[in-house]
Every structure is written in C-alpha cells, then in structure tokens.
Amino acid sequence: MDQLELFELPNPCIGVCQSNSRGYCMGCLRSRDERFNWHAKPVEERAHILKLLSQRRARLNAKAKKDTDSPASGKSLELF
C-alpha cells in the first residue's frame, strides 16, 4: 500500500477563487484544469499538483521579496 493512500490530501482552495492574467487562481495558485474535479483526480495527481503549488508559492514569494528589496527605479539609495 502506498503511503499516499493512507492520508487524505487536502483541497488547497482558500475560497478566493479569482483567476490572474495567466489563468491561475490567486488564492490557491491552481490552474483551471487543476481546480476542476479535484476530488475525482487520482491521489498521485493531487500529490503532484500540491508539489507544483509549493513551487509556485516559493517563486511568488521570492519575486515579492526581490521586488521589496530592490530600490525603486530612478531613485538612489540614501546611505548618508
């Protein structure tokens, strides 16, 4: 028995349910195809989707951090 079969994989939906310009949900970061029929998808496919969501969230957080860490264009850093 595969360990994935022992535990129910949670639905990552957080109730935001709005798509961004690329078609990904702004709440859970799933694509349209990944959102539809979540409970009917095989456990392995849901596990793969959850792994993809983790990677997407990490990229989104890294981009947000980079955007806040870099100075606004055209402005110099005031060090003195």
Looking at residue 31, its pLDDT comes to 96
Three-state SS across 3-71?
A: HHHHCCCCCCCCCCCCECCCCCECCCCCCHHHHCCHHHCCHHHHHHHHHHHHHHHHHHHHHHHHHHHCC
pLDDT in tens, 23-73: 999 999 999 999 999 999 999 999 999 999 999 999 999 999 888 877 655
pTM for the full model?
0.74
